[in-house]
A and B are shown apart, each in its own frame.
Chain A
Amino acid sequence: MNQRLRTTTVTKRRMRTTTVLTYLILIGVCLFNLLPFVFMLFTSLKTDQEAYAIPPTFWPERATLDAYTQIIVWSDFPRYFLNSTIVSLGTALLSTVLGALAGYGFSRFNFRGRGSYMGLILATQMLPGVLLVGPYFKLLSAVGLYNTYLGLILAFTTITLPFSVWMMKGFIDTVPEELDHAALVDGCTPLSAFVRVIMPVIGPGMVATIVFAFLLAWGDLLWALVLTSSDDMAMVTLGLSRLVTQFRVIWPQLMAGSVIASVPCMVLYLTLQNYLVKGLTAGAVKE
């Protein structure tokens, strides 16, 4: 009885210190992460004049939604937005599916050349995009995929896929092998073992992989620049880069576009958290 009381008191005190520490960290994170973003937000609410003012202002003295109106109503941004969303979601989907499958294969199975393939997949990431854009362009034109969604998705997937494979393998490695072995012995095919046993447990890992792939396609500029030519296929980053003209940076609109551009990822993250982490783990098979 005494021992339990003692443990509870110790636990409570310890929990308080850890909680304090936790909240300190979280508040610190908020400030650190948010301040530049808040700056972006406030700049987007300023007039052109005020955005360029020296000395600068933090709070907009005369807040206006002009920049947002310009971006949303008077420019092609909604279209760019749509394009970016389609391409990024496509990339995220393709690379996560293929990456998860490959990660499972590398994690659970021993086959000839396993190590070499893993190394090779990672080695593909060592070449910078600058060198690859030209040949990509040629390749996509040759197969008629230039300036198309599919072409962009395939191009981006080749960058995200190697990382997705390694991330998924890592996450799958954390799941004890006994779990899916049990399923296999019970007569499951490896694929269904993967879907029924592994996937529910690696929810957070899948979220990380999907968000990573999405953001990579979303934030890229060079490939979007070269692999599209018509304005109706342009992506958000391309549209935003045009606000950096030869003579000045059109700050309010650039910031407005960037603020809006942050939203899809956050929506995606929240949605994934809801469905992949909560939803799947609900039916997880626990050992």
Chain B
Amino acid sequence: MNKKLLNLLLVIVMLAVLVPTTLAAPPAQEGQDYVVVADDWLSKLADKYLGNPMAYPAIVEYTNKKHAEDASYAEITNPDLIEVGWKVYIPSAEEAAAIAPAPPAAAVTLVLSNWHLAEPHWEKTIKAAIPLFEKEYPNIKVELQVVSYAEKDAKYATEIQAGAGPDLMHLAGYSIRNFVESGFLYDITPFVQKEPSGFLDQWYPELVEVLKYQDKLYGLPSDHMAMILAYNKKLFTEAGLDPNKPPTTWDEFVDYAKKLTRDRNGDGQIDTWGFGTVGAVDPGWELRFSPVLLSHGAAYLTPDNKCSALNSPEAKEAFKFWVGLVTDAKVVPPGVTSQGAGAVRVQFANEQIAMKIGSGWTEPIIPTINKDFNVPENLGAAPMPVKAGKTLAKTTTGWYSSWLINKNTKYPEQAWTLLKWLTSKESDQRWFDGARVLSSRRDVSGDPDKGLKPYQPIADDKFSQVIQAELKHAQINPQLKEWPQIADTVNKEVQNAFTGSKSADDALKDAHDQINQILAPYRTAGETCPAY
């Protein structure tokens, strides 16, 4: 009896000692195979399995060793680029210990420049997003550089020409082509080729084409919006119009505008007008005039971009219509040729105009100009009016912007990482949340052809949902280096017609002739353009 008890006691004591110690000892981690899934990156795996994000060189080393023997393992040539589905080998702690971890210092600093940093409303969103990037990529620090919208092209062009400039830049549509064709940007084609196939399909194709030149790709698309008609529901009601029935055709539009042009405060003078628009030389001018041209079935240039197409009957009709708003219908406030986009917003916010052409930025900006403008109740959004009797695919203009890498960048790999991150689905969704700007990505702005639904908040927002629906009807400007000059030429002739210096016909003819002269370098000796 005593011996049995002693044996039991011994066993219990042994268990009591051995079990805890066995349990307390760290699991002797074996080296293991691992298949990469989405949202994985090497430092994350190293952190999870080896306890140190900087230990990822060990994963690289061992995986490549395994690959040499067994081709089912991936070969990691670039630790920043791993693909979903790759089989990697995560070494055991002892094996990992043999490989030196990546030095935690040697952080690369990239300079990122974006004009949105100068706008109080937008800068917050960017500043909140950057730390998220830095957390994900601890080796890359991002320094933000402010520049104003008007000065950015001058600053970037001068700096890049002289061999410097920020690593990443954000540019608005009208100057992208200039930067692309002047050789100011870094060719990212090699990086894209390493991406899984279909990488570029994430964006609307015409926006990717903007960034292609001579078979090379120079950036990734960022924002994308369509111009729509914004209107003041209160003014509609006051003028006896149904606030929920905005004009759908241009004829209706003029009708409405005439009714909305009236004397509101009873002093005998007209103080509210139906429509306000940009007439000054302003980069946003073309966004307002192009829809009229497009929806009448006209175009600026011939499809081969070698001649002006403003001599078509449709173009003449569109031009006369636009000019007539000022000279005949008189539904536009005085001084339109000196109004820039900002001035028109101020007019709209002060209820001096009832309708204007705008887009995503209209909604958040109006309250900052006039707190008393009741945006939820009074701001109406409607698709761009069309020409009655014409069914056309493209009836409004598309606004777009891109992220680009400077050709002088010292860290192309890291810049590419940042570029991808900035144009990723999550980034664009965050950008919409903060800035109410839609994206060039199909999976954020939606693509019914591919069965992709838009990001839910876009569909839920009254204003943005109209923009989203118009995206498929949006046409972006012709992509050639001479585009700013062509736009300015037409702008100036519109001004001449508005002020009565020239008749609408003469102005359009002059525009037509000047554009043909601008495009002369594209034509060979034998080719001529049709006269007006």
Contacts and interface: CB of A to CB of B under 8 A. Distances in A.
A134 B163 CA distance: 10
Interface of A: 48-49, 52-54, 133-135, 137-138, 141, 146, 221-222, 225-226, 229, 231, 241-242, 244-250
B191 to A, nearest CB: 26
A13 to B, nearest CB: 50
Interface in B364-394: 365, 368-372
24 contacts: A52-B346, A52-B370, A53-B370, A54-B352, A134-B161, A135-B162, A137-B164, A221-B151, A222-B154, A225-B151, A226-B155, A226-B159, A241-B151, A242-B118, A242-B146, A242-B147, A245-B115, A246-B118, A246-B119, A246-B149, A247-B365, A248-B342, A248-B346, A248-B368
B350 interface: yes
B148 A244 contact: yes
Interface of B: 115-116, 118-120, 145-151, 154-155, 158-159, 161-164, 341-342, 345-347, 349-350, 352, 361, 365, 368-372
A138 B163 contact: yes
Nearest to A47: B371
Contacts of B120: 250
B39 to A, nearest CB: 34
A248 B370 CA distance: 12
Contact of B118 (A48, A53, A229, A245): A245
Contacts of B146: 231, 242
A53 B164 CA distance: 43
B166 to A, nearest CB: 8
B119 A226 contact: no
Contacts of A141: 162-164
A48 B121 CA distance: 14
Given A241-B148, A242-B146, A248 B158 contact: no
Given A242-B146, A242-B147, 11 more contacts: A49-B372, A53-B350, A53-B370, A54-B350, A135-B162, A229-B145, A229-B159, A244-B148, A245-B148, A247-B345, A248-B345
A247 B151 contact: no
A226 B350 CA distance: 37
A116 B70 CA distance: 81
Contacts of B147: 242
A173 B155 CA distance: 42
A135 B119 CA distance: 31
A271 B299 CA distance: 63
A280 B502 CA distance: 61
Nearest to B350: A54
A72 B315 CA distance: 52
Contacts of B154: 222, 225-226
Contacts of A133: 158
Contacts of A54: 346-347, 350, 352
Contact of B349 (A52, A135, A138, A245): A52
A247 B158 contact: no
A246 B172 CA distance: 11
B23 to A, nearest CB: 56
A242 B123 CA distance: 13
B464 to A, nearest CB: 17
Nearest to B155: A225
